[in-house]
Amino acid sequence: MASSIARLLLLAASATPALSFCGAHTHLDRRQEGTVEVNEFGYTGTIGPLLWTSLDPEFNSACSEGMRQSPIDMVAGHFNMMPGDSIGLTIPDVPEGAKFENLGTTVEVVMAGLGGGLTMSDGTVYNLSQFHFHHPSEHIDNGVSMPMEMHMVFQSEANEVAVIGMYIDIEDPAAAPSGVSRSYTRCLDANTKLATRNQLHRRAPSSLLETVFASVGEIAEPGSLTRTGPLVMSEVVDALMAGNFQAYSGSLTTPPCTEEVSWFVSTQKLVISASTFMNARSVLGYNSRYPQNTPGEPNLLALAAQS
């Protein structure tokens, strides 16, 4: 049975969808002013992660062949622990707000040109391009999936990429708004127990996230855009500096799955209210790539093809 499933996966990965793709739009593409290009990949069916390579076999080959793919399960031995203040992170507040876009695969706050930066110990400077969200979390926190994850994407002048990942948890399942099903509330409660097991220390809802997602209903349709309210970025910077980073070399979690991405997954978590989570989820849907193999080990799709 296992070998039959592997053959089916291989056939699916080599098939060409009926739609024509000439290269997936990624979170790093340059934008034309006033336009939002909707991504042509997805997370389910024939445009989902199992078939990303087939959307553009030359451009997306790392998705099925790369050996340092992201996301991963963040367990001991897969990363190096770094103090939060060991990297130079500066992100000024944005009192005028920022562009907020629906790319079809995520919602993204555009931060290019707003002064955010990351300086590594070797002197390399990365500029903050944007931050976006995944539901549920893409990285796994020592075996536990979190409700959401925020990715802050930085690029250097040499087009090197660094990403800071932060898990997002829900404030209190007991505070779930009316209209939330009992089964979903039980799911939130299960998350609470798992979080407690991992010694998650909850705080009040993040003012940054509450501000950003207050506008998410305005970009419910892919390709739409609006502006956020004033962004207090210092809240996130202070939280990051107070914790640690789990650092490893991985990849983009979207096509073309380019490797040599410097990942810094924070041990600090952000929190949002249950009602804000529901509003964000209604627009995001499911948009997470499945966990990849241990960094340096063969790609899971390549292993399936060999079975």
User: What length is written for the chain?
Assistant: 307
pLDDT computed for residue 16 by the predictor: 33
* pTM of the predicted structure, to 2 decimals: 0.83
CA–CA dist 94, 76 (Å, integer): 36
Give the position of tokens 């966990």: 291
CB 40 within 8 A of CB 222: no
pLDDT computed for residue 21 by the predictor: 28
> For the chain, what are the domain ranges?
1-21+37-69+292-307, 73-291
In the chain, the amino acid numbered 291 is: P
CA–CA dist 182, 185 (Å, integer): 5
CB 108 within 8 A of CB 116: no
- Residue 13: HSE in the Cβ half-sphere, 13 Å Cα cutoff: 21
pLDDT computed for residue 205 by the predictor: 95
Q: Which of 269, 265, 275 is nearest to 148 (CA)?
A: 269
Positions in the chain whose pLDDT score sits under 50 = 1-25, 30, 175-177, 179-183, 192-201
CATH superfamily of 73-291: Alpha carbonic anhydrase (3.10.200.10)
Distances from the Cα of 5 to the Cα of 44, 61, 260, 269, 289, angstroms? 17, 21, 31, 37, 20
Segment 153-196, tens digit of pLDDT: 999 999 999 999 999 999 975 544 454 444 455 555 555 444 44
